[in-house]
Chains A and B, each alone.
Chain A
Amino acid sequence: MVWRTIARHLFSSHAGPRRADPAVVQALRRKLQAAGMKTLGRSLAIRHVAAGSCNGCELELRATQNLIHDLTQYGLSFTPSPRHADVLLITGVAGRNMVDAVRQTRAAMPDPVFVIAVGDCAVDGGVFKGSPMVGGGAEAILPVDLVIAGCAPTPGQIIEGLLALLEANAQLPRRRR
């Protein structure tokens, strides 16, 4: 029965030694509380565009949402609609066949938009640098605000990067209402 299973997991702690490093998690949460709570007062919605990755970066992006990394606890979430998004997150080399799609996604987002390149591929082409199909990462299509390097960056690194963005955002002047 599903209810019994749910109940068991509500009251049992996972003794498994595989937990996200609590020190890192704690530090991240504190960082967010310091950054987000103070000035932001809202959460950021992310529109992800896979622009020619090997799909390794997508696996790690998805892992940021699991029970261990729990991205939403920081007020960060992925949204399917570019209209709701504050952040355009690009993975992959942004090769020739994805240029139009990336531009159109950006155009569909309301300003202001933060653009983040996640993974070495999106940073500068990564291992695929020098391929005739690859123009040098996301920056070749759009101005990029933040890069999160790694091949693939771990969920922890991705979250840290996103939190850094939150922090920087908090120091921006407030928009007039």
Chain B
Amino acid sequence: MILCTEDEWQQTAGDLIALWTDATHAYALYHPGILRAVALTGGAYPALDAAGAAWFQRLAYDLNGHVATGAQDTRPAIEHYRAPDGTAAWPEFMPITGEGVHQIGVGPVHAGIIEPGYFRFSLCGEQILKLEIRLGYAHKAVLALMRSKSPRVAARFAARVSGDATVAHALAFAHATEAALALTPPRRAVYLRAIMAEIERLANHCGDIGAIAGDAGFAFLDARFAFHRENLCAAAFVAFGHRLMMDVVIPGGVAGDLHTGGAAAILAALDGLETELPALTRVFEDYTSLQDRLIGTGIIPPPLAHAYAAGGVVGRASGRADDARQSPGYAPYDTMTLQIPVANAGDVAARLRIRLAEMTASLEMVRHWLRGLPEDGIAVAPPAGEGMGLGVAESFRGPVWVWLVLRAGVISDIFIADPSTAHWPMLEHAAPGGILADFPLINRSINASYSGVDL
């Protein structure tokens, strides 16, 4: 960690990943893991210019009451009840003037089986002029719940920051704990974790690709991808005892070994998916009516993705060749060359193609690891030590970062940065210009987590 003066703090150190505060300091995390801190003066710290800093600064105020001096955007992030009398004191949405301009509010209860959030569209006819997103409906104060718990106990919360990325979140948390305690998990555990992480990626990519096609009216593709997603979840249940693989990754290793018949179940699910994947991919290529909905829709131009240091599929579809599995990298990916698919179009079609390309790579990796698992045990117990640790894991959305401080064997402070934090503001940028009917497609192609940012 680098302790800065206020002037040094305000100078950028590259791509800003996250910003948070504890009782005494503000912290800024830059790619690929440079941590800077500045002392708080009177509960305040200088605001950073980076586009991605805005959300974190709003969040730091809502969580800890710390003020980013000079920040432009001081709207609440997740706290709906700022007024002392407990009433909602949300600032009004931006007023819209102009002939024929109207607004549509959507949420927090959405039409489908989706998490809660509120979207305020300003439209002229069908055309979206502006989108403002209000989050915080899924706020559960998870960081507060993790404090003063031992890492093993707190892992249950880490696994539930964003349930669809439970393996990646638990893994980033485990990495942070292991870094703080200088703990090395057994190699078998490392490979089992990676197998779970790639199954999670495959399952979610199946869900997203299918849902995008479904939103474009291709129910057949939706059904087929949902079928493969189901097979992967069922295989995960056989192999690890939980369909989403919750609570299997723990600090120091994994909670349980691969169950009997697990490898066979996983391989069968992979085979089924791999056999059908070319035919399903061809549907995307063959149907102009489908391409018409996807190509040029919801464009996130590369400069915007760079400004927000967007990770994951969204970043890679907009020209950023970043993948936390490779940079900063962690075991077991650090000993192999990862093919990172990149595109520049930044539209829904590009995000879909990146997902398809990643699926092929994940299929191969899981097969490869299942063939030769090391036999050296599944976990070591974390000692009751002290220290600060930073951990990362590439979820299907992008990098999940966890920072924590351990004192006397329990967590004294923690921050978790889900990649969605960068994705939400980009959705606000990607929607305008398109028509309202394309919004579900754009939203789904980004698929930001509500729970992951609401904390």
Contact = CB atoms under 8 A, between A and B. Distances in A.
B114 interface: yes
B329 to A, nearest CB: 28
A6 B234 CA distance: 24
A138 B279 CA distance: 44
A93 B140 contact: yes
Contacts of B287: 2
A-side interface size class: 35 or more
B139 A58 contact: no
Interface of A: 1-2, 5-6, 8-9, 14, 16-18, 20, 48-63, 65-69, 78, 80, 92-93, 95-98, 101, 105, 127-128, 130-134, 151-152, 154
B138 interface: yes
Contacts of A96: 80-81, 139
19 contacts: A16-B271, A17-B265, A18-B231, A18-B268, A52-B451, A55-B450, A56-B160, A58-B115, A59-B207, A62-B226, A68-B227, A68-B234, A80-B111, A131-B144, A131-B145, A132-B144, A133-B140, A134-B141, A152-B246
B451 A105 contact: no
A54 B164 CA distance: 8
B156 A127 contact: yes
Contacts of B451: 52-55
B140 A131 contact: yes
B142 interface: yes
Contacts of A14: 227, 272
Interface in B136-170: 136-142, 144-145, 156-157, 160-164, 166
Given A101-B137, A132-B144, A133-B139, A53 B163 contact: yes
A16 B160 contact: no
Given A16-B231, A60-B243, A66-B229, A54 B163 contact: yes
Contacts of B425: none
A94 to B, nearest CB: 10
A146 B157 CA distance: 26
A56 B246 contact: yes
Contacts of A69: 230
A143 B283 CA distance: 47
B116 A98 contact: yes
B268 A80 contact: no
Most chain A CB inside 10 Å of its own CB: which residue of B111, B116, B231, B450: B116
B268 A16 contact: yes
Given A5-B283, A98-B108, A52 B139 contact: yes
Contacts of B23: none
B269 interface: yes
Contact of A50 (B113, B220, B271): B113
A11 B111 CA distance: 34
A130 B145 contact: yes
B163 A57 contact: yes
B162 A55 contact: yes
Given A48-B113, A49-B109, A50-B116, A127 B243 contact: no
A48 B186 CA distance: 42
A151 B237 CA distance: 13
Given A18-B269, A56-B246, 6 more contacts: A2-B220, A18-B272, A55-B162, A78-B112, A97-B138, A128-B140
Interface string B272-291: 10000001101100110000
B82 to A, nearest CB: 12
Contacts of A50: 109-110, 113-116, 138
Contact of B138 (A1, A6, A53, A127): A53
